[in-house]
């Protein structure tokens, strides 16, 4: 991920992105979809990533959806270039 993309990912960024950051969208989905099937959560995460112009792989989104479904903490690991 480029440094220029961080403002689209993190809610506490100093930039003012267009719309919500991915972090905020993820948190809202985690609250409202805990216990729901991961297959129901993945499309929501994909839309949030698309809105934030972030390119997560399908496996990244499935991993995030499983954590939301199970109600477990999820640590996103990114590489900034």
Tens of pLDDT, residue by residue, the chain (81 residues):
555 555 555 555 445 545 568 888 999 999 999 999 999 999 999 999 998 888 889 999 999 999 999 999 988 777 666
Taking the complete model, does pTM exceed 0.85, yes or no? Answer: no
Beta strands in 1-81 (DSSP E): none
Number of H-type helices and E-type strands within the chain = 4, 0
Cα separation of 56 and 80, whole Å?
14
């Amino acid at each position: 991920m480029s440094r220029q993309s961080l403002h689209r990912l993190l809610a506490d960024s100093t930039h003012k992105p267009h719309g919500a950051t991915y972090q905020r969208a993820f948190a809202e989905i985690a609250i409202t979809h805990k216990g729901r099937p991961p297959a129901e959560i993945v499309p929501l995460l994909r839309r949030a990533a698309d809105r934030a112009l972030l390119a997560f792989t399908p496996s990244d989104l499935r991993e995030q959806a499983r954590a939301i479904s199970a109600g477990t903490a999820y640590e996103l690991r990114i590489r900034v270039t």
